[in-house]
């Protein structure tokens, strides 16, 4: 069988529907009419001689052939994007998802802005790398940061990443909590406690997975699933109302009526990586790499303290890639 040449536009239509599993949302994402999108998908099916979607009045799902095509279509589109980027010399802003106004990603962005003042960085405040990754793949976002080991392999295959920092983890406690008076909280002291770690928010699945790995076998429970909480003020309101303790990093937003305490014995670490689309070429990205180089060399961002905790899957991924970015 000779495979037909399929236009990138048609592959983008297929991938959009495959990711959203909803023709209306996919059409809105691509800024096309739903009728035109459906026509493009039917053309892909016709050219491949395969049925790619099961459609009912209630839902859309991938067939086996559709699931088989999806990773290939993503790689083809990534290659087209990389080719386009290599021949594009514009001065557009770099769209960076920093997750929150505090933390490693925010510090990277602030330092990069100081380093290259003639480059425009536009910050977005998404809620997690899992949610940002789909935006990176689709080209609606340029750079994000977070725990890459929590991403699906087929998504990570379309992205590039480098280790940035091992953030120390902490617990956010109501100020009248039995452990609030401690300067540091031993992990074992949380046995029997329930901690909020964003369960129920699909955009932060990588963080919830990290929490579940940390809590396993220690008698610490994850708070029940709860919808995504949007913004610091709403986060503070919900957390205080439910009197949840929160798994956090040592750099975290201030919440009135609550105190932040580092965790020890062991010291749990949250692995942060810079993540970007493989096709991306931009002076702002180069500046971010320069800032990381400086932080790793001068401030020990990737030092792993003795007696710390990190999931084996995260350490294996770090060991696999760190040689590409070791300082001379």
What is the average per-residue pLDDT within 18-27? Answer: 87
Confidence at residue 88, expressed as pLDDT on a 0 to 100 scale = 57
Share of the chain above pLDDT 90, in %: 61
Sign of CA dihedral 33, 84, 278, 249: negative
Mean per-residue pLDDT of the chain: 89
Tokens, residue 251: 């750099």
Given a cut of 80, whether residue 84 has pLDDT beyond it is no
Kindly report the CATH number that applies to the domain delimited by 8-86.
Answer: 1.10.10.10
Domain parsing of the chain, residue ranges: 8-86, 94-166+269-325, 168-267
Max mean pLDDT range (1-10, 119-128, 245-254): 245-254
d(CA 72, CA 79): 11
What is the average per-residue pLDDT within 218-246? Answer: 91
d(CA 291, CA 122): 17
Given a cut of 80, whether residue 111 has pLDDT beyond it is yes
Q: Tell me the per-residue pLDDT of 26-40, one tens digit each, with 9 for 90 and over.
A: 887 777 888 989 999
Given a cut of 50, whether residue 218 has pLDDT beyond it is yes
Tokens 């290599």: give the residue. 86
Given a cut of 50, whether residue 328 has pLDDT beyond it is no
Per-position b or e across 262-272, b if 16+ CB within 10 A of its CB: bbbebbbbbbb
Given a cut of 60, whether residue 140 has pLDDT beyond it is yes
CATH class of 168-267: alpha beta
Max mean pLDDT range (144-153, 155-164, 261-270, 304-313): 261-270
Confidence at residue 162, expressed as pLDDT on a 0 to 100 scale = 94
Domains 8-86 and 168-267 belong to one CATH topology: no
| Partners of residue 64 on adjacent β-strands | none
d(CA 13, CA 194): 43
pTM: 0.73
Confidence at residue 75, expressed as pLDDT on a 0 to 100 scale = 87
CA 173 vs CA 53, 167, 236, 244, 248: distances in Å: 48, 19, 12, 8, 10
What is the average per-residue pLDDT within 38-57? Answer: 91
Given a cut of 80, whether residue 327 has pLDDT beyond it is no
Domain at 94-166+269-325, CATH homologous superfamily: Periplasmic binding protein-like II (3.40.190.10)
What is the average per-residue pLDDT within 53-64? Answer: 90
What is the average per-residue pLDDT within 99-119? Answer: 91
Confidence at residue 19, expressed as pLDDT on a 0 to 100 scale = 86
């Amino acid at each position: 069988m000779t495979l037909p040449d399929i236009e990138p536009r048609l592959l983008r239509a297929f991938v959009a529907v495959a990711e959203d599993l909803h023709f209306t949302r996919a059409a809105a994402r691509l800024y096309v009419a739903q009728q035109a999108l459906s026509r493009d998908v039917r053309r892909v099916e016709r050219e491949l001689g395969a049925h790619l979607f099961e459609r009912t009045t209630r839902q859309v799902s991938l067939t086996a052939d559709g699931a088989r095509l999806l990773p290939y279509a993503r790689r083809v589109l990534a290659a087209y994007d990389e080719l386009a980027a290599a021949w594009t010399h514009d001065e557009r802003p770099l769209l960076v998802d920093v997750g929150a106004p505090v933390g490693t990603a925010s510090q990277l962005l602030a330092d990069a802005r100081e380093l290259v003042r003639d480059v425009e960085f536009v910050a977005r405040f998404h809620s997690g790398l899992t949610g940002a990754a789909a935006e990176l793949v689709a080209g609606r976002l340029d750079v994000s940061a977070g725990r890459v080991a929590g991403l699906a392999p087929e998504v990570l295959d379309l992205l590039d990443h480098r280790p940035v920092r091992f953030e120390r983890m902490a617990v956010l406690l109501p100020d009248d909590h039995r452990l609030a008076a401690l300067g540091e909280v031993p992990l074992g002291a949380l046995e029997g406690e329930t901690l909020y770690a964003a369960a129920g928010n699909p955009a932060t699945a990588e963080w919830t997975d990290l929490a579940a790995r940390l809590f396993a076998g220690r008698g610490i429970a994850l708070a029940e699933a709860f919808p995504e909480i949007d913004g610091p003020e709403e986060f503070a309101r919900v957390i205080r109302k439910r009197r949840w303790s929160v798994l956090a990093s040592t750099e975290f937003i201030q919440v009135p009526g609550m105190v932040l305490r580092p965790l020890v014995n062991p010291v749990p670490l949250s692995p942060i990586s810079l993540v970007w689309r493989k096709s991306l070429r931009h002076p702002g990205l180069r500046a971010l790499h320069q800032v990381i180089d400086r932080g790793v060399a001068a401030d020990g961002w990737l030092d792993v303290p003795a007696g710390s905790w990190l999931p084996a899957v995260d350490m294996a991924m770090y060991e696999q890639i760190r040689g590409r970015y070791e300082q001379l």
